[in-house]
Amino acid sequence: MILKELFANFAILTSLIFLYTQLIKAPLNRSSKLKYKIHAGIVAGISSDILMFYSIHIGDTIFDLRHIPLILVAFYGGITPITIALLFFIVGRLMIGFSFASYIAICYILTVSIITLLLSSKVKLSLQMKIAIILTANNVLLSVIAVLLVDNKQTLYLLLPTYWVASYSAGVLAFYMLVYLRKTKLLFDKYKLESTIDSLTGLNNVRKFDEVFNTLANNVGQKEEKLSFLYIDIDFFKHINDTYGHGDGDIVLKDLGALLSSSTRSFDIVSRNGGEEFSVILLDCSLDRANEISERIRKNVEQFPFTLSSGKEINITVSIGVASYPETTNDVSVLIEEADKALYHAKRSGRNRVCRNYEVNELPILTSV
């Protein structure tokens, strides 16, 4: 019976840990936002209550693995989540029954929680050593309580060795699972971010650009909003690479990405579309306003000193093609194509220019330097 109940506790515990790690947005730590700490505290408290309801009952005394979720939340989250978890635990324990044993159980869990808080933040030891000390302290405390409260020595002789093995096994596995799942989630989030971000500039990459543009194009068509698009290309970038090397070329691209972000509005969407080509999606932006932003970008780039690895400063220029829905085209799906045509005209007209298209069959109007 003892083995059966402890195994049930063990299965419930691992299921709860796995479920929790799948639902959270970020692993719990001391610097987590307050709402995440509150959520973690509630989950840990409810988890300990669930484990108590599937515990081993010996008179008024119950034995289970309720300490594991409380130890985990105290270890990683600190005082805020463990305080919330303890409130849930105390209420749950008193609902089972109020007695001297329940009072002792509450004191025991409070002691283990304090030990965990101190070891996790104040003591410089390896993770493995901290886990071993915390679990040993828990087992020693519970063994003392068992000796005081359980009269049947035969039951005690069977319970304590079984509980020590189960507690150590469950505790080590719980920490291992949580560490593994935390690392897995961090890696997943990292790879997910890297799949949408250009590693050199930190801007959206072409995959993210396509996703965002398609979503916005659908929304704009339905809501009848304005949408402008800038296609930006560095003038004579091949000459920069040939003269100074690709390393310095990357420096120019990185600095230009930062300059584009600072030259546009905070909610505009800046992307690197490949090589020396960049784009800006201007949300709810008219053609005239898009032209003003384009001119600001062109002038900022022209005046900005790009510092190379040698310390040498160079200046570059960009050509920009502008298209706007519904002013230069009434078909939002060809907005990129229209801006590309305007960019091509800017290149042919002398570079370092902003050009805008009104209609496909009309010549673009040039904004001269």
Catalytic residues: 276
Render the burial of 350-369: b for 16+ CB within 10 Å, e for the rest. eebbbbbbbeeeeebeebee
Q: Is 151 helix (H, G, I), strand (E, B) or coil?
A: coil
**CA angle 130-163-22, nearest 5°?**
60
CA 37 to chain centre: 15
CA 211 to chain centre: 20
CB 55 within 8 A of CB 63: yes
What's the Rg (C-alpha) of the chain? 32
- Look up residue 330 and give its two tokens: 């009434």
Q: CA-to-CA distance for 35 and 47, rounded, in angstroms?
A: 18
- Look up residue 149 and give its two tokens: 């409260």
Q: How crowded is residue 311: how many other Cβ atoms within 10 Å of its Cβ?
A: 6
Q: One-letter amino acid identity for 14?
A: T
Q: Is 65 helix (H, G, I), strand (E, B) or coil?
A: coil
Strands 306-307 and 269-274: unpaired
CB 256 within 8 A of CB 190: no
Q: CA-to-CA distance for 256 and 300, rounded, in angstroms?
A: 10
- Look up residue 238 and give its two tokens: 């091949």
